[in-house]
Chain A
Amino acid sequence: QSVLTQPPSVSGAPGQRVTISCTGSSSNIGAPYDVYWYQQLPGTAPKLLIYDNSNRPSGVPDRFSGSKSGTSASLAITGLQAEDEADYYCQSYDSSLSGSMVFGGGTKLTVL
């Protein structure tokens, strides 16, 4: 059972917009700790996608955006492309776990 809750799967057609939620609590996202997002393409290592809730590292397309409100965060992907099919993980910290880093359970994005 992950500290941060994500939907197991989402799907969308090419060109559409999808969102992935990440729900936490007052001891993590609501503490308030920042939220980070990672993309894991099949058979590869995770890659940083969003940092400090809504910032994109150099090289990440602006089709990817992040937001945070209260005890939840969201990742939005617009103009969905086949290459976006991957697992997505949110990450934050939790004060009830001595400030440990925590991940969401991951969301599998399927591009129809």
Chain B
Amino acid sequence: EVQLVQSGAEVKKPGESLRISCKGSGYRFTNYWISWVRQMPGKGLEWMGKMDPSDSYTNYSPSFQGHVTFSADKSISTAFLQWSSLKASDTAMYYCARLGGNYGSYLDLWGRGTLVTVSS
């Protein structure tokens, strides 16, 4: 089955670091870019950026540049989203999604999401 499996929910305190994961299976992981999408409680979708798992080239949305870090380990078909110092405003659901189509223009496969809660 073609799928993206995300790591489980996290509860963290402000200032802590965090890395969440997204493992692809059922397809050649390095053939498709991975995007991350944030959805704050009760709000809409926000594109955070994308990464090429074949060489870890990244492209961040201006809104998220400098606040998060994308990485990947292609040997285990897994992409990561990382924070070095969490804030309460990082509380949200985070989705990874595969960029599909001839030009990698749309998100054709989504993970179920990882809920991150940041609270003191």
Q: How many residues of A contact B (CB 8 A)?
A: 26
Question: How many A-B Cβ pairs are below 8 Å?
Answer: 59
- The reply to whether B108 and A97 form a contact with Cβ atoms under 8 Å apart is no
- The reply to whether B105 and A34 form a contact with Cβ atoms under 8 Å apart is yes
- The reply to whether B106 and A106 form a contact with Cβ atoms under 8 Å apart is no
- The reply to whether A91 and B62 form a contact with Cβ atoms under 8 Å apart is no
Taking the closest CB of chain A, its distance from the CB of B50, in whole angstroms, is: 8
The binding surface of chain A is classed by DSSP as: strand
- Determine the residue in chain A with the shortest Cβ distance to B35: A101
Q: A89-B44, A98-B62, A100-B47 are in contact. Are A47 and B106 (CB under 8 A)?
A: no
Contacting A100 at CB < 8 Å: which of B62, B97, B105, B110? B62
Taking the closest CB of chain A, its distance from the CB of B8, in whole angstroms, is: 15
- Give per-residue flags for B27-43: 1 if the beta carbon is below 8 A from chain A beta carbons, else 0: 00000000101000000
Taking the closest CB of chain B, its distance from the CB of A107, in whole angstroms, is: 10
- Determine the residue in chain B with the shortest Cβ distance to A100: B61
B101 within 8 A of A: yes
- The reply to whether A45 and B95 form a contact with Cβ atoms under 8 Å apart is yes
Apart from A93-B105, A101-B61, A102-B47, list 4 A-B contacts with CB within 8 A.
Answer: A38-B107, A45-B112, A91-B45, A103-B45
Binding site for B on A (CB under 8 A): 2, 34, 36, 38, 40, 44-48, 51-52, 57, 87, 89, 91, 93, 97-98, 100-106
